[in-house]
Structure 1
Amino acid sequence: MIRIVPKPTDTQDDNSTQMVINALEAMGAEYEILLLRDLDPFSIKYRNDLIWICGIRQDGVEFELIKALALKNRLVNTPEAIATCASKVLTSALLTHHDVPTPETLFTASRQHVDTFLQRHGKAVYKPVYGFDGDGIFLFSDIGDLADPPYYVQEYIRNDRDFRIFVIGYKAAGAIYRQSPHLTHNIHQGGVGTPVEIDSRMREIAEAAARAVQIDYCGVDLLKTEDGYTVLEVNGTPNWHCMAAPIPELLAEYLVSEENKMR
């Protein structure tokens, strides 16, 4: 059985969960909705099911509940992968460990270390360790612009757009470029997405990023560089706004395929 944990931020006009449900129904696949609020983590009745986690609340409670679900079930995405993507520090560490290009990054509690980083780069980008939707990200060139530690900062790479690559089963499935007048091009921050073909280098680096964090499906955010592309982050519960590729259908096919493997 495929069980579905709906995305809590779905709206009538932007309903990621329903898009995939529609695709599952078109395939004749059986599914049921699973509401995390109804779960007792000490008495999980589900066994050997495939459970699609379309999204969870950033409150800690739902993350603990999906970890309990994962004890006896196959989760897409796994709690470990979701936690990895939620942490910019761990994501950057894995990308670096697996030699996936990513901007030079510093994580520290030392303002002096940040100042040394600034002296080398002139300016840098500050990001909250657990931020999402582009919130809290800003460009700075003065240590006085920072509040209390910890500090996760990256070198600034001049750009007028970024690229979101949707990866399913370690295969790049669709892509857009996003543009806005702001530092971040996130669509939730007013960015505009445009479908784009996936070139060979884009495909290679996005798939390598997904393998590095061991995730079933994700959105890999890239910047173009002189040498190709560099990975900004990996999103573990991504939307697929503006993509020309039929992502809901492809994701539904992946869920059915993975569920069949369990039989």
Structure 2
Amino acid sequence: MIRIVPKPTDTPGDNSTGAVIRELRREGVAFSLLDLDTIDPLASPITGDTIWVCGMKQDIHQFECLDVLSMENNVVNSPDAIATCASKVKTTALLLKSGIPSPETLFTASRPLAEEFLARHGGVVSKPVYGYDGIDVRMVSSPGDLREAPYYLQEYVENDRDYRVFVIEGRAVGAICRRSPHLTHNIHQGGIGTPVEIDPAMQEIAAGAAEAVGADYCGVDLLPLNGGYTVLEVNGTPNWHCMAAPIPSLMARYLIGKEQESRR
């Protein structure tokens, strides 16, 4: 059985869960929705299934439910991968360890270190450690712009666009270029997405980023830099706004394959 944890931010006009469900129905595959807030994973009869986390709340109960369920089921993405992608700090650490290009980053509770990093770069980008949809991503130009510790700061890479690359099992299957007049080009912050071809450099770095964080599938955000790309972050429960690639169909086939593997 394929069990689906719906994305909590789905709306009638932007329903990621529903798009994949339609493809599963088209394939005649059995599935059910799984509400993590209504179960006790310590006494759950769910075992041997494929659980797809289209999205989840960032709270302790839902994460612990998934973690326990993953002991007897195949959870996609794994709780470890979801937790890693939720933390910009751990994501950055794994990217650096794997040699994946990423903007120079500082994570500290020390204001003097934060001010020194800011002075060296002249201007940096401040991001929440656990953030999504480009919310509260800010440019910091002076010490007075720094808020309370801890500080997650990245060098500002001058740009007029970024790229979201959708990766499934190490293969980039879709990509868009996102543009906006703002610091962040996220679609939820008013960015406009346009489908683009996946070039070899994009494939290589996006696949490497997915492998570094241990994600079966993910959205990798890139900035163009020096003829190549640098990784901004990796999303473990990604949307696929504006992509020309048939992501819902690809995701449905991927889940069907995972379920078939678990039954062998």
Task: Calculate the TM-score normalised by the size of structure 2.
Answer: 0.98
Native 8 Å contact 1:44 1:68 kept in 2 = no
How far, CA to CA, are the matches of 2:227 and 2:89 in structure 1? Answer: 24
CA RMSD of aligned residues (A): 0.9
The code of the aligned residue for 1:18 comes to G
- How is 1:77-156 mapped onto 2 (pairs within 5 angstroms)? 77-156=77-156
Aligned to 1:172: 172
Residues 65-98 of structure 1, C-alpha deviation per residue, up to 9 Å, x if partnerless?
A: 1112112100001110000000000000000000
Residues 26-71 of structure 1, C-alpha deviation per residue, up to 9 Å, x if partnerless?
A: 1121111111122112201111100101111123221121112112
Alignment partner of 1:232 is 2:232: yes
Alignment partner of 1:262 is 2:262: yes
How far, CA to CA, are the matches of 2:24 and 2:215 in structure 1? Answer: 21
Residues 131-176 of structure 1, C-alpha deviation per residue, up to 9 Å, x if partnerless?
A: 1111111111211111210000000000000000000111100000
Native 8 Å contact 2:37 2:61 kept in 1 = no
Residues 168-202 of structure 1, C-alpha deviation per residue, up to 9 Å, x if partnerless?
A: 11110000010111000000000010000000001
How far, CA to CA, are the matches of 1:69 and 1:39 in structure 2? Answer: 11
Residues 221-248 of structure 1, C-alpha deviation per residue, up to 9 Å, x if partnerless?
A: 0000014000000001111000000000
Aligned to 2:13: 13
How far, CA to CA, are the matches of 1:32 and 1:105 in structure 2? Answer: 41
- Aligned residue for 2:120, secondary structure, equals helix
Aligned to 1:53: 53
The code of the aligned residue for 1:16 comes to S
Alignment partner of 1:2 is 2:10: no
How far, CA to CA, are the matches of 1:142 and 1:120 in structure 2? Answer: 11
The code of the aligned residue for 1:22 comes to R
Unaligned stretches of 5+ residues in structure 2: none
- Aligned residue for 2:144, secondary structure, equals helix
The code of the aligned residue for 1:56 comes to M
How far, CA to CA, are the matches of 2:49 and 2:42 in structure 1? Answer: 17
Aligned to 2:27: 27
How many residues align? The count is 263
Divergent runs of 4+, >6 A: none
- How is 1:57-68 mapped onto 2 (pairs within 5 angstroms)? 57-68=57-68
Worse overlay, 52-61 or 234-243: 52-61
Task: Calculate the TM-score normalised by the size of structure 1.
Answer: 0.98
How far, CA to CA, are the matches of 1:168 and 1:119 in structure 2? Answer: 40
How far, CA to CA, are the matches of 1:17 and 1:114 in structure 2? Answer: 40
- Aligned residue for 2:26, secondary structure, equals helix
